Amino acid sequence: QLDVLLGLFNVHYGRAEIERSLEVARAHLALSEKHGSGESRAHCLLGQSYSAMGAFAEAKQHFDKALAMFARYPEVAGTWGVMASQHVVTLALSAGVHFALGEYEQARAAMVEAVERAHAIQHPLSIALAIVTDTLTPNPGDLQGASARAEEAVRFCARHGLKNFEVWARFAQGAMMTRRGDVLGGMGVMQGAIAAAEALGSRLFRPAQLATLAGAHAKLGDCPRALDLLEEAIDLAHRTGEKQALAGIQRVRGEILFSLGRDKDGEAALRAASHIARTQCAISEGRRIEASLARLLSAAARSRTGAEPAPANTGGWLGMFRSLLGI
């Protein structure tokens, strides 16, 4: 029954049916507690669901419980079969939660341990999960290294026929191309990755992906298309329950509105983003929002007085995918 629940969880989670994945995770925990088996995996599933919802404090609690259980009762070698090692999953996804909570050193340590553990057990699916998650977890100031890791992740996943992970890695690769200046090329890669994911029935991360694509359109000056994509991303986040990126998406929307001279609308969007970040305990994103709001309000005031405007900060738009997933 527990394995059936795990399979059902993966279906709902991959489709970004987050409320349903949470229900299955709770059922898994109840059954695990009843039979005294599989509790660590259940807490991992709950952590995944809460993280996707943007409930980062709750996600951390469950990931911490899972890691404590894995420390006491290690996974038996070879038991993961066609699934990824749940210990690796817990470590890898907890990195994004640590980042969201502003715990940057813990985030990097968890990610490094996830990659090392996956390679140690020599399990392709676990390795793919770890190295792809590594490309999606923020590591500020390491664009060149991140690009190389994304390329290696694409090659590894393609070599082992792991399509879902390959399309996520390809999207990250496209986002990084955009950040490095190849905006049109990066957009093409990102759009291709989204189409491939849709063909696979994979909808996880779509709000963040749409927001990243919106940032690329804004970089090219097509702000109306960017705003349309952001509205689509916000609507999708509310419909699916995948709200981990919602504060960041609202931030980008506010930044673009300011760039169009719609200062009141931009300020409203940024204040909405700040409220979401506080509700989610998304400390890292909250800091970015407050910095953006202060900069843009200052620039607007300078513009009204005829002073030289401060330089625009478009980098936040183009780093959207990596900066939102911890997010």
- Distance in angstroms (rounded) separating the CA atoms of residues 216 and 179: 9
Other C-beta atoms closer than 10 Å to the C-beta of 88 total: 29
Residue 306: predicted pLDDT: 65
- Distance in angstroms (rounded) separating the CA atoms of residues 100 and 245: 10
Exposure letters 297-322 (e unless 16+ CB within 10 A, then b): eebbeeeeeeeeeeeeeeebbbbbbb
Exposure letters 206-221 (e unless 16+ CB within 10 A, then b): bbbbbbbbbbbbbbee
Q: What is the pLDDT of residues 102-113, one digit of tens each?
A: 999 999 999 999
Residue 309: predicted pLDDT: 47
Cα 160–163–169 angle (5° rounding)? 95
Q: Which residues contact 264 (CB under 8 A, 6 or more apart)?
A: none
- Distance in angstroms (rounded) separating the CA atoms of residues 256 and 253: 5
Residue 139: predicted pLDDT: 64
**Per-residue tokens: 256:** 């673009």
Residue 199: predicted pLDDT: 97
**Per-residue tokens: 292:** 């953006």
Exposure letters 90-127 (e unless 16+ CB within 10 A, then b): bbbbbbbbbbbbbbeebbbebbebbbebbeeeebbbbb
Q: How far apart are the first and last CA of the chain?
A: 32
- Distance in angstroms (rounded) separating the CA atoms of residues 190 and 198: 12
Residue 299: predicted pLDDT: 86
**What mean pLDDT, rounded, does the chain reach?**
91
Name the stretches of the chain with pLDDT < 50.
309-320, 322-327
Residue 308: predicted pLDDT: 53
